[in-house]
Structure 1
Amino acid sequence: MGEARERRGFKVRAATLADAPAMARVFVDTFRTAHRGQIPEHLLLERTYESSTQGWERTLREIAAAEDPQEYVCVAEDTAGEIVGIAMGGPPADWPFDDANRAAHPTGECYSLYVHTTRQRSGIGRALLADLATFLVSRGRRRLAIGVLAVNAPARAFYERIGGTLLGQRHFDDSGVLLDEVVYIWNDATCLTRVEPANSAESEDVRHI
């Protein structure tokens, strides 16, 4: 967390403001590929390089300005210096169904996990999630939640393979469209900090950028 972690042909490090345009390309390209046929077409087209760059810049500036940041964004960078994956997390989204558990066990949430379509199945997603989990645990959030579109079978299979337990289903509003998502939980996210890269289908859905 915060320091570049070298792995098989890539490294994971904290994102910087200069990364925003490259992060936007990864996000938009992967979002459109991963979710085609899963959400209305106009939601895919709403995500553009320009709007996503602006969103990441705004987020990274807010994190940099915070005295004690509770959110974290990391990127995976290949040996050529190209950004090939992104992840973001922080305090959990409001969900009354889980309030009692959160009160007893401080919880973090992964908001975003994307690996470019050309670099999936290479361990990048697992490495990004490990770095994010390390940050959340350092902030006292040992319990981790991840929401994923209910129809996103590859992402669901990925989370199940690395130990996620299905907690429940909820809805979220994406530009006026209600979408169904399921939530996976890790009651002790330290297990994710020890996950090593392995071949797996890496694809997640992002809502906030």
Structure 2
Amino acid sequence: MTVAPARVVLRPAADDDLDAIVGVFLACWGGSYAEVMPAGLVARMTPASARELWARTLAGPTEVVVAVAAEVLGVVGFRLEEDGGYVASLYVAPAAQGTGAGGALLAEAERRLAELGAHRATLWVFEANEPSRVFYERRGWRLTGEREVQEEWGEPQLRMAKELAAGHR
């Protein structure tokens, strides 16, 4: 268990965190994403589809860590893949953004991936989501030049990567 800034505790997600994780995720889609992403994309994420997505994530190979104070404030999902570490998702409730919870979650994912043997990690960020790109860049992530449009989302995403420092091991 790791303690993050502002007395936020990071811990592995449990099955009974599903509702709280879905709440954070939907708050981001309806709040933060609504400010920068096309309305059609935001509208496609329903409570039912969000619950299904996160139930699959919690059951699958992705490790999930939550940031908790009095309640779940954020969540990060990551896993080891053939070419290194992969950060599958990072969401922080809009009310908790700027508290350090997101940076602590990302640092925890980087540390754990390095412990698993990854020397490099990647992630995808929506091209239109400039605030998230800036967040990652401030933490040493760089655009790779790769761009994709997944059928599920229908919006361009940019790949970012970061070399994981030996200090994380």
TM-score (norm 2): 0.87
Indicate whether 1:115 and 2:92 are aligned. yes
Q: Separation in 2 of the partners of 1:185 and 1:176?
A: 21
Query: Partner of 1:97 in structure 2?
Result: none
Query: Partner of 1:96 in structure 2?
Result: none
User: CA offsets, 1:4-41, max 9 Å, x none?
Assistant: 53542311111010000110010011022222254432
Does the 8 Å contact 1:12/1:75 carry over to 2? yes
Amino-acid identity (%):
29
Indicate whether 1:187 and 2:167 are aligned. no
Residue among 25, 33, 36 paired with 2:34:
36
Q: Separation in 1 of the partners of 2:117 and 2:73?
A: 29
Indicate whether 1:89 and 2:87 are aligned. no
Query: Partner of 2:68 in structure 1?
Result: 77
- 1:128-167 → structure 2 map (5 Å cutoff): 128-167=105-144
Does the 8 Å contact 2:122/2:161 carry over to 1? yes
Structure 2 residue runs without a partner (length 5+): none
| SS of the residue 2:103 aligns to | helix
1:37/1:124 CA distance change after superposition, 3 Å: closer
Q: Separation in 2 of the partners of 1:29 and 1:13?
A: 21
1:147/1:190 CA distance change after superposition, 3 Å: farther
Structure 1 residue runs without a partner (length 5+): 64-70, 93-101, 195-209
Query: Partner of 2:25 in structure 1?
Result: 27
Does the 8 Å contact 1:21/1:49 carry over to 2? no
| SS of the residue 2:60 aligns to | helix
1:190/1:51 CA distance change after superposition, 3 Å: farther
| SS of the residue 1:36 aligns to | helix
Structure number with larger C-alpha Rg: 1
C-alpha displacement of 1:174: 4.1
